[in-house]
Structure 1
Amino acid sequence: MASVFSKIIAGELPGRFVYRDDTVAAFLTIEPVAYGHTLVVPVEEVDRWTDLDPALWAHLNEVAQRIGAVIVDAFDAPRAGYLIAGFEVPHTHIHVFPAADMSGYNLATALGMDETDPQRMDDAAERIRAGLRARGVENVPG
């Protein structure tokens, strides 16, 4: 059965995409620790990151690093948080989020789907897309 991330990537479920190529997709999580919280996901459905092909793992991290740099600037964050947890969805994904302290690393503190402001989510996605475009990154949707 396809993971929820595979369904988002396939367009079966909605997603606020900020990046997409043939092997990697990045979209905002519906339960963010902060606005701008992005998931960087391989298109291929692989549960554990340790099972990814090394070239795909490198590309996934390159995309995460670029998004992280944009997040720092776009959200005036001291750092971009980076986290691999993977228990909630059996599909490799990297969490990249604005971080001012360690609280963002506790996913239990994330906003619920019903607590997020759709306009702020849309704005966050557009800020990330604009930042990626400004840096000459290709494969930025919209």
Structure 2
Amino acid sequence: MATIFTKIVNGEIPCYKVAEDDRHIAFLDINPVTPGHTLVVPKHEVSYLFDLSDDEYVALELFAKKVAKGLREAMPCKRIGVTVIGLEVPHAHIHLLPITTEADMDFHHKSQLPGEEMESICARIREAVAKELD
């Protein structure tokens, strides 16, 4: 059965997409830990990050790096925190979070933002990431 991320990749479920190429997609987490919390996902469904082929893994990390650079430009923060948990959705993915302190990486404190705010954040990040992808 296709994961929720595969359904997003296939356009069956809408998302706040910030970037995409032929092999990857990046979109805002709908329950962000911090505003701008972005998920970077390979389009090819693989349950566990370390089950990706070496080529897929490197390509995903390089795509995530470009997204992180744009994210840092678009969102006020000191750094972009990176984590891989992979327990909620069985589809390899990387979390990118704009952070100012280590406490900002607390996944026990997720939020929901109004749709208008998510759209605004998405547009800022999308514009900044587009510069990195050129």
TM-score of the two chains, using structure 1 as the length reference: 0.89
**Which portions of structure 1, spanning 4 or more consecutive aligned residues, are displaced by more than 3 angstroms?**
none
Query: 1:106, CA displacement in angstroms?
Result: 2.1
- CA-atom RMSD in angstroms: 1.2
Query: 1:133, CA displacement in angstroms?
Result: 2.3
Give the aligned partner of residue 119 of structure 1: 116
Give the aligned partner of residue 5 of structure 1: 5
**SS of the counterpart of 2:96?**
strand
Matches within 5 A, 1:87-102: 87-102=87-102
Q: Deviations over 1:90-135 (max 9, x none)?
A: 0000000101112232212111xxx311111111111111112233
Query: 1:79, CA displacement in angstroms?
Result: 0.2
* 8 Å contact kept, 1:71–1:77: no
Distance 1:104 1:5 in 2: 24
**SS of the counterpart of 1:30?**
coil
Q: Deviations over 1:64-103 (max 9, x none)?
A: 1111112222112100010100000000000001011122
Distance 1:133 1:46 in 2: 26
Give the aligned partner of residue 131 of structure 2: 134
Q: How many residues align?
A: 134
Distance 2:22 2:58 in 1: 15
* 8 Å contact kept, 1:18–1:125: yes
Structure 2 residues without counterparts, runs of 5 or longer: none
**Percent identity (aligned):** 34
* 8 Å contact kept, 1:46–1:90: yes
Letter of the 2:73 partner, please give it: D
Give the aligned partner of residue 53 of structure 2: 53
Distance 2:120 2:50 in 1: 33
Query: 1:55, CA displacement in angstroms?
Result: 1.1
Give the aligned partner of residue 73 of structure 1: 73
Deviates more, 1:28-37 or 1:64-73: 64-73
Letter of the 1:69 partner, please give it: K
Letter of the 2:123 partner, please give it: E
Distance 2:110 2:14 in 1: 20
Structure 1 residues without counterparts, runs of 5 or longer: none
